[in-house]
A and B are shown apart, each in its own frame.
Chain A
Amino acid sequence: MATVGQFVDIKWKLGVAMSSDTCRSLKYPYVTVTLKVADPSGQITDRSFEMTIPQFKNFFRQFKEMAAVLETV
């Protein structure tokens, strides 16, 4: 299933999972992001997902690359 849309906005949250039912000492930092997306009809929906710190760094790096390419086109 695919959603196509225009990026509207991004909300974010940085958290650390301290413990879980399977691990008393988790200490796992992660980023939760909510993208606000406008579909072709103009309706706004939210899409949330979680990233590990390395994943976030890669995510950021890719957007920087996109911006760099956009400038040269």
Chain B
Amino acid sequence: MKLTGNGTTPISEGSLPPPEGSKPLSGLLGGIAQAAYYGNADITEELLRGQLYPEAAPEEFRALRAKMGGLLQSIASADMDLNQLDAFLTAQTKKQGGITSDQAAVIAKFWKNHRMKIHESLINQSRWDNLLKNMNWRVDLKSQSRHIDQINTPVAIVEMELGKNGQESEFLCLEFDEAKLSQMLKKLSEIEDSMTLLTQTT
């Protein structure tokens, strides 16, 4: 069944009527991202169809959603830069049953705006060990002996909140005197040097 737009050029067979502007497709991509990357389980297919493509038949919408979801997944999985994205989308417009150049433009704009956030979300999905959720500290004066007048040693008391993503936290409270702090700083400095080496080689 051939569908025509609002009096303009006919669209390829089986596609949905063109929405005014690119808003529905942009909205659809947003909805897909909400469900797939931002953990929003409330964004259902029915909700999206009703809000964005109310005129579309459920099967047609399902196909569109699946196609767009698949494209977004390919783009996100490869964390495509602009060159890769351009090549990828151009290839899609040339495919049988691919996308239109208008749709390619909408997808490109969406990815440019959401790339960082989606990538961060994917990184987060891969972090399943203990994370440092928060850290607080204070410096106390610790009395060494009650037999000798006021020998006070300053110590840093550090409280670290540790836990896995989405799980209850554990609190670790540590005491550091000046020597221990030096030891810690030395090791942290080693890590920093290592990081500099990393950014130079990757």
A residues sitting closer than 8 Å to B (CB atoms) are 1-7, 9-10, 12, 14, 16-17, 20, 22-32, 35, 37, 47-51, 53, 55-57, 59-60, 62-64, 66-67, 69-71, 73
A-B interface, 10 closest residue pairs, ranked by CB to CB distance from nearest: A49-B130, A73-B154, A23-B122, A2-B171, A20-B126, A25-B79, A66-B156, A24-B77, A4-B173, A60-B188
Determine how close the nearest CB of chain B comes to the CB of A37; give it in whole angstroms.
Answer: 6
Contact B176 A7 (CB under 8 A): yes
Determine how close the nearest CB of chain B comes to the CB of A12; give it in whole angstroms.
Answer: 5
A31's contact among B135, B170, B191, by CB below 8 Å, is which? Answer: B191
B residues sitting closer than 8 Å to A (CB atoms) are 76-79, 119, 122-123, 125-127, 129-132, 135, 137, 139, 141, 154-156, 158, 160, 162, 170-176, 178, 180-185, 187-192, 194-195, 198, 202
Given contacts A26-B122, A62-B137, 17 further A-B contacts (CB under 8 A): A1-B171, A2-B173, A3-B170, A3-B171, A14-B195, A22-B126, A26-B123, A27-B202, A31-B195, A35-B174, A48-B130, A49-B129, A56-B195, A60-B188, A62-B135, A67-B185, A73-B154
Closest B residue, CB atoms, query A17: B126
CB contacts (< 8 Å) of A71 on chain B: these are: 178
CB contacts (< 8 Å) of A27 on chain B: these are: 79, 202
- In whole angstroms, how far apart are the Cα atoms of A32 and B130 in the complex? 9
Most chain A CB atoms below 10 A, which of B137, B155, B191, B194: B191
* A and B contact pairs by CB, cutoff 8 A, 6 listed: A7-B180, A31-B195, A32-B129, A49-B132, A70-B156, A70-B178
Closest B residue, CB atoms, query A45: B172
